[in-house]
Amino acid sequence: MTKTTAAMPEGCLVGIFGGTFDPIHHGHLRLAQEAVEHLALDQVLWIPAGQPPHREMPAAGPEQRLAMVRCAVADNPAFAVDGAEVFSQEKSYTVLTLERLRQERGAATPLVLLTGADAFAGLPTWHRWRDILELAHVAVVYRPGFSIDPAALPAELATEFQARRCAPGELAQRPGGGIVTFPMTPLAISATQIRQLLAAGRSPRYLLPEAVFAYIRAQQLYLQPRNLGT
Ligand code: ATP
């Protein structure tokens, strides 16, 4: 059993949140929570990646990363976990995830891909990036005080951004194609930092849910100084 997606009635607004979650932390959780509130999402689907295309393999195994995500989101009725990709040997291309979800959820369900502003700026390097913009809406998270400046985006993306930009209230009206921005509370937490703290014998307490930290201790994760990131 690798999948725990709560069934949603047709017409519901579903946020898609992918990542390695190695481990999941409060930065991820606040992003998803604030997306629910700003974009009126009915659900956020957490999708731990199997083989991320642009980075080395995660330090924790797929079962462990899936277990940590499940335990972190279990008490939030708006969050569901999709474990369909975490065990895959194929690269976790976002466009393939969205094609799968389109098949599963139907052509009419609005899907909203959640991305950070830095990830969004790199979108033209993603596999079949223009198809991504058709398959789903894209919601770009920015920090209060920092606008997303089209002049700083690659020209082809700036054109798409300006043409597709819409208000959160419009997301439910069509299945995809729009781009929205929303703010979140800045939390400078990264999984890299947590892995580095653990490998150095220091505590990541309060950077991530206590239950996830307990799991990390029980499994003795991240004690070796490998795959720590830069
Ligand atoms: P790593 O340090 O291993 O690169 P990470 O903490 O960036 O990991 P990922 O699993 O790679 O976590 O991230 C999944 C998504 O969450 C990405 O879109 C990333 O931009 C976003 N994200 C991660 N940490 C934060 C944070 N503190 N605030 C906002 N967004 C975040």
Domain boundaries, the chain: 14-187
pLDDT per residue, tens digit, the chain (230 aa), is 334 454 565 668 999 999 999 999 999 999 999 999 999 999 999 999 998 777 788 999 999 999 999 999 999 999 999 999 999 988 889 999 999 999 999 999 999 999 988 889 999 999 999 999 999 999 999 876 666 788 889 999 999 999 999 999 999 999 999 999 999 999 989 999 999 999 999 999 999 999 999 999 999 999 987 655 54
Q: Residue 230: its pLDDT value, please?
A: 46
Pocket of ligand 1 from Cβ distances under 6 Å: 19-22, 27-28, 31, 115-116, 119, 187, 189-192, 229
Q: Which atom of ligand 1 is nearest to the CA of 192?
A: 2
pLDDT in tens, 184-218: 999 989 999 999 999 999 999 999 999 999 999 99
**pLDDT > 90: percent of the chain:** 80
- pTM greater than the 0.85 cutoff: yes
From the CA of 28, how far away is ligand 1's center (Å)? Answer: 6
Task: Report how far residue 67's alpha carbon sits from residue 63's, in angstroms, rounded to the nearest whole number.
Answer: 6
pLDDT in tens, 77-100: 999 999 999 999 888 899 999 999
From the CA of 109, how far away is ligand 1's center (Å)? Answer: 26
Structure tokens at 111: 């899907």
* CATH, domain range 14-187: 3.40.50.620
From the CA of 31, how far away is ligand 1's center (Å)? Answer: 9
User: Mutation test of ligand 1: which of 31, 97, 146 has the most ligand atoms closer than 8 Å to its C-beta?
Assistant: 31
Ligand 1, atom 19: closest residue by C-alpha: 116
